[in-house]
Amino acid sequence: MVFRNFKLMLGILILVLVVSGCGRVSEEESRVTLGQGMGVLNAPIFVTNKMNFWESQSLQVNVRPFVAGRLALDSLIAGDIDIATIGDTPVVYGLFKHPNLRIIATVMESNRDEKVIARRDAGIDSPDDLKGKRIGVFFGTAGEYYAIRFIEAQGLSKEDVSFINLKAPDMVAALSNGSIDAYVSWEPHVQNGLRALGDNAVVFVNPDIYTETWNLVTTVEFFNNSPETVRRVLRAVVRGVEYTNANRKEAIDITEEQLGLSRDVLDSIWDDYDFKVVLSENLVTTLKNQGEWIQASSDLSKGKSLPDYRQVIIDQPLREILPVAVSIP
């Protein structure tokens, strides 16, 4: 009888240990679908993927590439992905219809990523020559915001040019065949245009009109359901940024694999990008400025007030992980 009771108690103990052990495994392993925009500005995420810094955080990350952060945003809103790397402009546009979007970190800032590339044989030798020209722009992206600010800096308005909505990868062919005279985009698409046009290309950049931010974006629902997963993602990305800054050659090699730009080209533009994990007042100001611009120029915001952009930013996880990186009150 005693032996039988002992076996029963032992069986119950083993069952409890197995069940509790299974619980620990499910808590330790987190699965995340990450949407990444394909640009040089995404280099730290490329590095994080390649070096698999996710593993140290017990993350299983399914990475989905998008030619633009705006397309990643569409997928995030649809619930197809959990977190995405996105520029500030698509987020501002998205918030007018989807107020549940949240930024958890900025991973890059640049005032030289967006550029204008044009055909010399279209009579364009200086920015002033853009008046009356057909300019390719991917609406709803940072390229659109930069394009508006760029022509305004020349004393022009959007009525003085013809903006044509094109996805970034389609711009090179459109410029090459002459269906547009210029386009505004980010890397690698500007370098691809230079490669296609050769000496017939001219590039303009104005670093004083806009500093773009590249951000990790999620939704209120995902954060509320998986706050620890968000913290793990941030820890992995912090390692990715640190590695990117400490290992320039290796980071460029990894980015070359992803984008197909030559190492020499990447090396020549690498310093245009400030890779860092932060949440700064600059982000709040940038979101507000763009919100006011959309409100003044688009029917999208008709009848809607601007959100409190400070509340769009979830800063608690990054404050816990890297307090010095958060400078917003």
Residue ranges of the domains in the chain?
12-16+24-110+212-325, 115-204
Fold: same for 12-16+24-110+212-325 and 115-204: yes
**Is the N-terminal amide bond of 65 cis, ω within 30° of 0?**
no
- What is the homologous superfamily of the domain 12-16+24-110+212-325 according to CATH? Periplasmic binding protein-like II (3.40.190.10)
d(C-alpha 209, C-alpha 262), whole Å: 28
The count of residues in the chain is 329
How far is residue 134 from each of residues 113, 120, 164, 320, measured CA to CA in Å? 21, 13, 7, 48
- What percentage of the chain's residues is helix, strand, coil (to nearest 5)? 55, 20, 25
Looking at the chain, the number of H-run helices and the number of E-run strands are: 14, 11
Q: Can you name the residues that pair with 201 across neighbouring β-strands? A: 119
Average of per-residue pLDDT across 123-150: 97
CA-based R_g, the chain, Å: 23
Q: Contact at 8 Å (CB) between 182 and 199?
A: no
Sheet holding 212-219, edge to edge: 59-66, 30-37, 83-87, 212-219, 101-110, 274-278
Q: What is the residue-wise DSSP string for 181-198?
A: SEEEE-TTHHHHHHHHHG
Taken in order 305, 308, 309, 313, the sign of the CA dihedral is negative
d(C-alpha 282, C-alpha 80), whole Å: 30
Structure confidence by residue, pLDDT tens digits, 264-274: 999 999 999 99
- The tokens describing 189, both together, are 């698409």
CATH class of the domain defined by 115-204: alpha beta
**Residue 22: pLDDT band with limits 50, 70, 90:** very low
Most confident of 20-34, 151-165, 294-308: 151-165
- Residue 116 phi/psi, 5-degree rounding, is -110, 130
d(C-alpha 178, C-alpha 100), whole Å: 41
Is 310 exposed, middle or buried (CB count within 10 Å of its CB: 0-12, 13-18, 19+)? middle
d(C-alpha 277, C-alpha 322), whole Å: 9
Q: Is the pLDDT of residue 8 over 70?
A: no
**Threshold 0.85, pTM exceeds:** yes
Q: Is the pLDDT of residue 20 over 50?
A: no
Average of per-residue pLDDT across 171-187: 97
Structure confidence by residue, pLDDT tens digits, 46-98: 999 999 999 999 999 999 999 999 999 999 999 999 999 999 999 999 999 99
Structure confidence by residue, pLDDT tens digits, 291-323: 999 998 887 767 788 999 999 999 999 999 999
Q: Which residue has the tokens 């955080």?
A: 57
